[in-house]
Amino acid sequence: MRYLITTILITLISSISASEIFSKGKWIDLTHNLSEQAIFWPTADTFKKTTVFEGHTDNGYYYSAFNFSTSEHGGTHLDAPIHFAENRLSTDQIPIDQLIGNGVVIRISEKVLENRNYQFSVDDILQWEKNYGQIPKNSILLIDTGSSKYWPNKKQYMGTEKRGAEGVKELKFPGIHPEAAKFLVTKRKIKAVGLDTPSIDFGGSKLFESHRILYDKNIVGFENVANLDQLPATGVTIIALPTKIQGGSGGPLRIVAFVPN
């Protein structure tokens, strides 16, 4: 009997097209434009775009082509585990199914208003779970700090407009506390974690402990995510596909969410 029910369910699901499924809701882009205005780590090379050709050719048709250069870690981007964990997954090695999945959103924006260096805590997780239940296995966890509204103002978003080592000293933005990172890898099972700040660790971090804890377990990171305030706490589907850089420690990311009606 159980086999028969399972077969019927599979048949019904397979008869529903993707267009039908995704017609009953809306897509939300969680990606900032990659441009000269995009925010990068103070020591990272920024985005540059140059024109190869733009206009009408001698043959009368319009044509445009551009060159661009950028570091892996700037704008909305992915951190591959190898970024902070030796012998872990590089960008091209991350399985597709780790980049697509059910998303949950935990908001800490009110706490961040009081402290721009606030660190997402175990208590924040447990408080969320009181309302929505335990974070489901293999979820993509997104942390809404309220920082996206400051983009692309570098001073408001990450505490400084300075470049180089002087800029790093003045960084100020929220991140994930190492104890929360430990909790996520030992007490919960998530595919990836993302937030609307330049780093998984808070701006004042010197040891980048949360990066090291999460990435050692091959959990993927998304940084500088946009529009998290437009997502509900549960029930969203996340698709986060980076540029597939062979051996890369990260890369530019197009991340979107589908919110069903």
- pLDDT tens per residue, range 79-132: 999 999 999 999 999 999 999 999 999 999 999 999 999 999 999 999 999 999
Q: For residue 201, give Cα distances in angstroms to 127, 208, 213.
A: 21, 6, 11
Can you read off the two tokens belonging to residue 82? 């190898």
How confident is the model at residue 14, as a pLDDT?
A: 61
Residue 92: inside a domain: yes
Residue 161: inside a domain: yes
- Reported confidence tier of residue 13, pLDDT bands at 50, 70, 90: low
Taking all residues of the chain, what is their mean pLDDT, rounded to a whole number?
Answer: 94
Residue 14: inside a domain: no
Task: Please state the rounded mean pLDDT for residues 139-149.
Answer: 98
Query: Angle 105-32-84 (CA atoms, 0-180°, nearest 5)?
Result: 70
Q: b/e string for 177-216 if b means 16 or more Cβ within 10 A?
A: bbbbbebbbeeeebbbbbbbbbbbbbbebeebbbbbbbbb
Domain hosting residue 91, numbered range: 24-44+72-260
Residue 59: inside a domain: no
% the chain with pLDDT above 90? 90
The number of distinct structural domains making up the chain is 1
d(CA 32, CA 153): 13
Residue 218: inside a domain: yes
Q: Is the pLDDT of residue 233 over 50?
A: yes
Q: Which helix (H) or strand (E) holds 122?
A: helix 122-132
Residue 67: inside a domain: no
Q: For residue 95, give Cα distances in angstroms to 47, 89, 91, 191, 207.
A: 27, 9, 9, 10, 28
The answer to whether 253 and 91 have CB atoms below 8 angstroms apart is no
d(CA 228, CA 69): 27
d(CA 24, CA 22): 5
**CATH number where 181 lies:** 3.50.30.50
Residue 81: inside a domain: yes
Distance of CA 77 to the CA centre of its chain: 7
Residue 62: inside a domain: no
Q: Cis omega (within 30 of 0) on the bond before 152?
A: yes
Taking alpha carbons only, the member of 29, 1, 90 closest to residue 231 is: 29
Q: Is the pLDDT of residue 2 over 70?
A: no
Taking alpha carbons only, the member of 112, 160, 104, 97 closest to residue 132 is: 104
d(CA 19, CA 3): 28
